[in-house]
Structures are given as C-alpha cells and as structure tokens.
C-alpha cells in the first residue's frame, strides 16, 4: 500500500511528465505571438514598386493568420497542460481515498505481535 508521500510523489511525476514542459511551450508560443505582433515593415522599406504590388498587404494578412494560428496553438497547449494537472490531481485524490479506506479495513498492527 502506498503512503501519502508516495502518492504525492507519483502525482508530481505525472505533473512533471508533461505539465511543466507544456507550460514552457505555452510561454514560448505566447512570446512568439507577442514578437510577431511587434513585427512590422516600416514605411518606405519596400520602395514604390513593393508598396504598389501589394506585398505589404500580403505580409499583414500572413502576419494576422500566423498570430491567429499561434493563439489557437496556445489554447490547445493550455488545455493539454490542464488535462495533465487534472489527471495528477484526480490520481492523487483517488489514491489517498483508497489508502485511507484500506487503513480503516486492515489494521496496521497484528495484536498477537504487538503483545511482545
């Protein structure tokens, strides 16, 4: 039977197995979205031909689409991270409950041994 420390350790193993890595991914993708939001083509950089050819509009459309994709990706990563943490919490709760129930049913000591 597992004790409380073992149960907590196992739950943390679940959290560490992917939850914290996903958290880093969420941070990285959020940073990428922020950086992309700041990416601009300064006026005059494309020259008259570039400006008249619609390159700026294409860039802005691509930037907007990419930011939307990144935002959706962050949402998926957050959902996955929360699922891992929820799984760990549920595991810990169930294991703790079972350990307590088993402790009520099965005595910790045998009376015939405790007498000596």
More confident residue, 1 or 12: 12
Residue 30 lies in a domain: yes
Domain count, the chain: 1
Q: Is residue 61 over pLDDT 50?
A: yes
Domain of residue 19 covers 4-102
Residue 26 lies in a domain: yes
Model confidence at 70, pLDDT cuts 50, 70, 90, reads very high
Choose the most confident range, by mean pLDDT, from 1-15, 27-41, 90-104.
27-41
Residue 115 lies in a domain: no
DSSP result, 47-114? HHHHHHTTHHHHHHHHHHHHHHHHHHHHHHHHHHHHHHHHHHHHHHHHHHHHHHHHHHHS-SS-HHHH
pTM exceeds 0.85: no
Residue 85 lies in a domain: yes
Residue 111 lies in a domain: no
Residue 67 lies in a domain: yes
- Please, what is the average pLDDT of the chain? 84
Q: What is the pLDDT of residue 58?
A: 93
Residue 108 lies in a domain: no
Residue 21 lies in a domain: yes
Short-list 14, 24, 16, 13, CA closest to 77: 24
Rounded mean pLDDT of 41-52?
Answer: 87
């Amino acid at each position: 039977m597992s004790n409380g420390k073992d149960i907590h350790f196992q739950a943390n193993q679940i959290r560490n197995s992917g939850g914290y890595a996903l958290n880093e991914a969420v941070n990285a993708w959020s940073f990428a979205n922020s950086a992309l939001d700041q990416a601009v083509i300064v006026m005059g950089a494309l020259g008259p031909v570039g400006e008249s050819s619609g390159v700026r509009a294409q860039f802005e459309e691509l930037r907007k689409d990419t930011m939307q994709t990144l935002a959706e990706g962050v949402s998926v990563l957050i959902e996955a991270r929360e699922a891992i943490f929820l799984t760990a919490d549920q595991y810990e709760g169930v294991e703790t409950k079972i350990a307590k129930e088993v402790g009520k049913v099965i005595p910790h000591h045998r009376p015939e041994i405790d007498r000596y």
